[in-house]
Amino acid sequence: MRRVGLLAGPLARWMRMLYAIRSLVRLRQAMLAGEDARAKRGQGGAADYWQAGRSVAGIHTVLPVGEIMRSFDAAARAAFPEWPPAGRAPPAPLPGVRKP
């Protein structure tokens, strides 16, 4: 690593630039192809911009992380009562997570 160094040379910078440009061109082509396909089906562009409301429709409560971790721990202990295997110490509790 010392021999090669951590800095990118001019060829690497050019290659990164070319990959970035190629990525942007492909993204644009994919977006335009998607718009054409939606136009053929009669859908507008609004379907692309308002997707968040559909994905969060099933969320009814927001729980603290500690409560989620305690319920996950309880479910894991119920599913695997013999864990940890004989001869192994149980894992240390996570810092900041209190047992119920």
The string of DSSP codes covering 55-81 is: HTTT------HHHHHHHHHHHHHHH-T
**Beta carbons of 59 and 89 less than 8 angstroms apart:** no
Asked if 19 and 8 touch (Cβ cutoff 8 Å), the reply is: no
CA 69 distance to own-chain centroid: 19
Tens of pLDDT, residue by residue over 12-51, are 889 999 999 999 998 888 877 776 666 666 555 545 555 5
The answer, yes or no, to whether residue 94 has pLDDT greater than 80, is no
Residues near 95 by beta carbon (within 8 Å), at least 6 away in sequence = none
Q: Enumerate the H helices of the chain as residue ranges.
A: 10-41, 46-49, 52-55, 65-79
Lowest mean pLDDT among 51-55, 64-68, 80-84: 51-55
Closest CA to 69 of 37, 28, 100, 24: 100
**What pTM value is reported for the model?**
0.34
Residue 100 pLDDT class (50, 70, 90 cuts): low
